[in-house]
Amino acid sequence: MLSYGFMQKSFIMGIMIALIAPTIGYFLVLRRQSIIGDTLSHVALSGAAFGMVTNSYPVYTAILFAIIAALGIEGLRKKYENYAELSLAIVLSAGVGLASVLISLGNTQGILSYLFGSLALVTNQDIFLVIILGIIVLITISFFYEGLFYISFDEESAYLAGVPNRFINLFFSILVALTVAISMRIVGVLLISSLMVLPVATSLLIATSFKSGLIYSNIFGLISVIIGLTLSFYLDIAPGGSIVLSALLLLIIVIVFENIKNKRKKPA
Q: Tell me the pLDDT tens digit for each residue of 95-122.
A: 888 888 888 877 666 777 777 777 766 7
Give a yes or no: residue 227 inside a domain: no
Give a yes or no: residue 218 inside a domain: no
Give a yes or no: residue 261 inside a domain: no
Q: What is the CATH number of the domain that holds 141?
A: 1.10.3470.10
SS3 content of the chain, % helix, strand, coil (to 5): 80, 0, 20
Closest CA to 135 of 90, 108, 175, 194: 175
Q: What angle do CA 103, 84, 160 make, to 5 degrees?
A: 135
pLDDT reported for residue 86 = 80
Q: What is the H or E stretch that residue 234 is in?
A: helix 210-235
Contacts with 206 (C-beta within 8 Å, 6 or more apart), sequence order: 216, 254, 258
For 3-34, how does the pLDDT look when each residue is reduced to its tens digit (9 = 90+)? 887 788 888 888 888 888 888 888 888 877 77
In the chain, % of residues over pLDDT 90: 9
pTM recorded for the entire structure: 0.82
Q: Looking at the chain, how many residues does it have? A: 268
Closest CA to 109 of 59, 52, 189: 52
On the question of pLDDT at 268 being above 60, the answer is no
Give a yes or no: residue 159 inside a domain: yes
pLDDT reported for residue 18 = 87
On the question of pLDDT at 187 being above 90, the answer is no
pLDDT reported for residue 266 = 66
Give a yes or no: residue 51 inside a domain: yes
Q: What is the mean pLDDT of residues 189-197?
A: 81
Number of domains in the chain: 1
Closest CA to 141 of 121, 166, 162, 171: 171
Give a yes or no: residue 90 inside a domain: yes
Give a yes or no: residue 49 inside a domain: yes
Closest CA to 23 of 145, 181, 129: 145
For 207-249, how does the pLDDT look when each residue is reduced to its tens digit (9 = 90+)? 888 888 889 999 999 999 899 889 988 888 888 888 889 999 9
116, 237 Cβ separation under 8 angstroms: no
Q: What is the mean pLDDT of residues 53-68?
A: 86
pLDDT confidence bin for 267, thresholds 50/70/90: low
Give a yes or no: residue 79 inside a domain: yes
Q: What is the mean pLDDT of residues 58-70?
A: 87
> How far apart, in whole angstroms, are the C-alpha atoms of residue 27 and residue 216?
13
Range of the domain at 27: 5-193
Q: What is the mean pLDDT of the chain?
A: 82
pLDDT reported for residue 3 = 82
